[in-house]
Amino acid sequence: MPALARSTIELRIRRQDTPSAAPRWEEFSLPQQPDMSVISCLMEIRKRPVTRRGAPTTPVVWDCSCLEEVCGACTMLVNGVPRQSCAVLVDTLPGGVITLEPLTKFLVVRDLIVDRQPMFDALRQVKAWLPIDGTHDPGPGPRLAESVREVAYEFARCMTCGCCMEACPQYHGRSDFLGPAPIAQVRLFNAHPTDALNVAERLETIMGRGGLADCGNAQNCIEVCPKEIPLTEAFGELGRQTLALGLKQLFRR
């Protein structure tokens, strides 16, 4: 068995009891066990919620579901970087205190849980779905060309974790920007042959306020995406699609 990088894990966790409560920091100290992830540390704290100084406290609250970096629910700042806490192994972090904080671009519900609803609202705004009316059997649908399947596979891996929204300097409480993940989903759904009728509507949404033009091209989003989704490729392609639509609308007048 490989030697453990530390014998004790020191954690500093930003806590907040309710959305309107003042945040506070609490420190915890745990014996390290092999292959511990950040979530295993939180589970250990939940078993015995006592601070490093021995004061009893409430268990730290966090969100998770899949525990295999697929659902995005456990995303938080680990040492200041947005990551899935189920997938971060303690041994891969530098020595010293590990800091855990909730994402800063969403409202805190409690402790490390944030409300990612604005991201889902933005997905609704860009109509990130294939409309099937359900009144008749639509049949098997068109076969996807390999080039479309490749694009669809890349973008369908988005788990709405929010890492890209956290890293984007243009996405914040005072901006209307829809954010990188919802805009990139337009690339996915506009590529699908079943949904050619909604392509222009989606493009018009991202041509408007809070759309593509608000992206400053800093590329922080692509740096932090755990699924390595080609977000900036999406913005480039959508830029071409919106330009073509704009020209078409101009000449139609």
Footprint of ligand SF4 (CB under 6 A): 72, 158-164, 167-168, 170, 180-181, 184, 215-221, 225, 227, 229, 231-232
The neighbouring-strand residues paired with 82 are 77
Which residue's CB is nearer to ligand SF4, number 151 or number 158?
158
Tell which one of 9, 11, 38, 69 touches ligand FES (CB under 6 A). 69
Minimum separation from the CB atom of position 139 to ligand FES (A)? 34
Side chain identity, residue 95? G
Distances (CA, A) of 163 to 108, 128, 137: 15, 19, 38
Q: For the window 75-114, what string marks contact with ligand FES as x by the rule CB under 6 A? A: ---------x-x----------------------------
- Nearest alpha carbon to residue 157 among 233, 222, 227, 237: 227
Which residue's CB is nearer to ligand FES, number 75 or number 170?
75
Binding flag, residue 71, ligand FES (CB under 6 A): yes
Which residue's CB is nearer to ligand SF4, number 35 or number 176?
176
Q: Which does 67 bind (CB under 5 to 8 A by kind): ligand SF4, ligand FES, none?
A: ligand FES
Instruction: Dihedral sign for Cα 202, 161, 20, 22, please.
Output: negative
Which residue's CB is nearer to ligand FES, number 162 or number 180?
162
Q: How many CB atoms lie within 10 A of CB 193?
A: 11
Minimum separation from the CB atom of position 224 to ligand FES (A)? 14
User: Alpha helices, DSSP H only, in the chain?
Assistant: 38-47, 117-125, 146-156, 163-167, 180-190, 199-207, 220-224, 231-252
Binding flag, residue 67, ligand FES (CB under 6 A): yes
Chain Cα centroid distance, residue 38: 18
Q: Which does 78 bind (CB under 5 to 8 A by kind): ligand SF4, ligand FES, none?
A: none
Tell which one of 66, 145, 156, 213 touches ligand FES (CB under 6 A). 66
Separation CA 145–CA 133 (nearest Å): 24
Minimum separation from the CB atom of position 176 to ligand SF4 (A)? 13
Angle at alpha carbon of residue 77, lines to 229 and 92, rounded to 5°: 80
Do residues 61 and 37 touch, judged by C-beta distance below 8 A? Answer: no
Q: Which spans of this chain sit near ligand FES (rule: CB under 6 A)?
A: 64-67, 69-74, 84, 86
